[in-house]
Structure 1
Amino acid sequence: MHSNQFPLNPIAFHLGPISVHWYGIIIGVGAILGLYMASRECEKRGIPSETLVDLVMYALPIAILSARTYYVLFEWSYYKNHLSEIPAIWNGGLAIHGGLIGGTITAIVFTRKRNISFWKLADITAPSILLGQAIGRWGNFMNQEAHGGPVSRAFLENLHIPSFIINQMDIHGVYYHPTFLYESIWSFIGVIVLISLRKVNLYRGEIFLTYLIWYSIGRFFIEGMRTDSLMLTSHLRIAQVISIVIITGSLLVILIRRMKGSNSERYLTN
């Protein structure tokens, strides 16, 4: 028998009339831990940590706004009749690809204004971005979203995952694939891979491009299991199309830059 205390309450606490959701808290924790990790690496690589904080002050709100805009645009058939729900990001609906687009554009503009190498800063922050994504997926867990198709409880028990996850995957009497968990684990492994690549001393920019490839490979396969995908057509999932574009584009950029020999500076170059 499993406990009747599930599903977990997505609201952490109330401040008067304001409800503070776990979704926002978890995303905030991911952002703070990512910032801390990146700021330590910035100091090692000769970039003042204050510069990173300045970037985050711009990039984080813009990334959240672009992530929401991206989601709403592809779900416009719903939101055009529910305009009041557009700002309700605490209920979920932040598309990581949208956030990446907004955050990357912001970082490009910021680094040009500050006369800093975009690739250098992108390499430094790549593991932190992925760490934030790995932690942020647990906000989806609290909201019982970003899950896959129906499965049996026995299937989940055979995965040897904690019972609180199994119980939270019981949504109205039906158990679902914990795809949020699959992506979180894939991302945590990716953080370790990216940090390890610092010692390999790749050409500048290649850690960030490896991050894009790593995340997109996992997202492509995991997205195929989800039931709440944003769709381009009735059979084509937007995230899978974007993932293929990112993987192909990143590989081409690595190849072209190496063939041109234009990126002689490496990660450990100060």
Structure 2
Amino acid sequence: MIKKNYFVYVLSILLSYLLLGIFVIPKTFSGDVYVSPVLISIGNLQIRWYGFLIAFSILIATLIAENRAKKENISQDDFYSAVIFGVILGVIGARIYYVVFNLDYFLSNPFEIIMINHGGMAIHGGILGAILSVYLYTKFKKNSSIKFFQALDIFTFVLPLAQAIGRWGNFFNHEAYGTPTNLPWKMFVAIEHRMPGYENFEYFHPTFLYESLGNSIIFLFLLYYINYKRKIKGEVTALYLMLYSVLRGFIELLRTDSLYFMGLKTNVIMSIILFIIGFSLFIYLRRKNNE
């Protein structure tokens, strides 16, 4: 039987989107209300929604992951040390990935490399950075109470929730939208935020919202799986790689601001690679469990 706590997560997420759908989306998507990227401005100091939501998403994900870590008898010292290390390498990885595939711009504007509050964080780079941090921590930390696949499962089951929250940072930055559309849920984009070549279009696919909704569903599925269906550690990681790759791969086809490599969208290529890795890992783990 599914525990009450699971329904709390489901209802909380549904309520959040319901409130956004009632009070935020109609006015902003129609263009009647312009949302500022800046949350708080004190003199020359600005706190932007993007940075705030990224920080908030990390906090929420950490609290949920901590509860899971306790169930798996992981010490708090190991847990929080791994989280701090993972956040640092994850942010660095996300920024490096974005910078590498926008190298011409950043070579001309080198100071912008450190201005992550302006946007420009690639999730695939963040995932790779965080995975590297987990590997390094579990390999080199003496007497660690946490193992590699165990840590990865805890990281990847909460990651979609963090992504779902963080995507709203793109909303406030007026970025990560798709191609023009006249669908009922179309989103107005002010001309100063339109991509080159799309200046004469007003309404676009809200791809940030598609990904936020999709990641919320993935989170609920992985939360259920890790609590009730997992047979061997590592399965949750494999499922995340597959599910998110499918979601991101399809959404990337609609995006107008994609990164490119040799004429191909890098995130589509990366999604295919990570899906294959996730699928292979899942099959390997299931066979290992049945031996």
1:264 Cα deviation after fit: 7.0
Q: In the alignment, is residue 148 of structure 1 matched against residue 178 of structure 2?
A: yes
For residues 112 and 153 of structure 2, the distance between their equivalents in structure 1, rounded to whole angstroms, comes to: 36
Extract unaligned runs of 5+ from structure 2.
1-25, 192-200
For residues 53 and 249 of structure 1, the distance between their equivalents in structure 2, rounded to whole angstroms, comes to: 28
Match of 1:196 in 2: 224
Name the TM-score, length of structure 1 as normaliser. 0.87
RMSD of Structure 2 on Structure 1 (CA):
2.0
Is 1:40–1:49's contact at 8 Å kept on the other side of the alignment? no
| Partner-residue secondary structure (3-state), 1:256 | helix
1:18 Cα deviation after fit: 1.4
Q: In the alignment, is residue 205 of structure 1 matched against residue 234 of structure 2?
A: yes
Deviations along 1:133-156, whole A, 9 cap, x unmatched? 11110000100101101123xx2x
Is 1:7–1:170's contact at 8 Å kept on the other side of the alignment? no
Deviations along 1:93-147, whole A, 9 cap, x unmatched? 0000000111100011111233331111211222211111111100001001011
Residue 137 of structure 1 is aligned with which of 127, 148, 167? 167
Q: For residues 1-270 of structure 1, what are the structure 2 equivalents within 5 Å?
A: 6-114=33-141, 115=144, 116-152=146-182, 155=183, 158-159=184-185, 169-172=188-191, 174-198=202-226, 199-234=228-263, 236-259=264-287, 261=288, 263=289
Deviations along 1:165-184, whole A, 9 cap, x unmatched? x66x3322711110000001
| Partner-residue secondary structure (3-state), 2:261 | coil
What is the identity percentage for the equivalent residue pairs of Structure 1 and Structure 2?
32
Is 2:238–2:277's contact at 8 Å kept on the other side of the alignment? no
For residues 246 and 11 of structure 1, the distance between their equivalents in structure 2, rounded to whole angstroms, comes to: 34
1:59 Cα deviation after fit: 1.1
Extract unaligned runs of 5+ from structure 1.
160-165, 266-270
Name the TM-score, length of structure 2 as normaliser. 0.81
Is 1:140–1:180's contact at 8 Å kept on the other side of the alignment? yes
With 129-138 and 50-59 compared, the bigger mean Cα shift is at: 50-59
1:201 Cα deviation after fit: 2.6
Is 1:130–1:191's contact at 8 Å kept on the other side of the alignment? yes
1:49 Cα deviation after fit: 3.1
Runs of 4+ in 1 over 4 A off after TM superposition: 1-5
> Quick one: structure 1 residues 223 and 37, their matched pair in 2 at CA, closer, same or farther if it must change by over 3 Å?
same
Is 2:222–2:236's contact at 8 Å kept on the other side of the alignment? yes
For residues 138 and 233 of structure 1, the distance between their equivalents in structure 2, rounded to whole angstroms, comes to: 30
1:92 Cα deviation after fit: 0.8
Is 1:147–1:177's contact at 8 Å kept on the other side of the alignment? yes
Is 2:249–2:268's contact at 8 Å kept on the other side of the alignment? yes
1:53 Cα deviation after fit: 1.3
User: How many correspondences in the alignment?
Assistant: 251
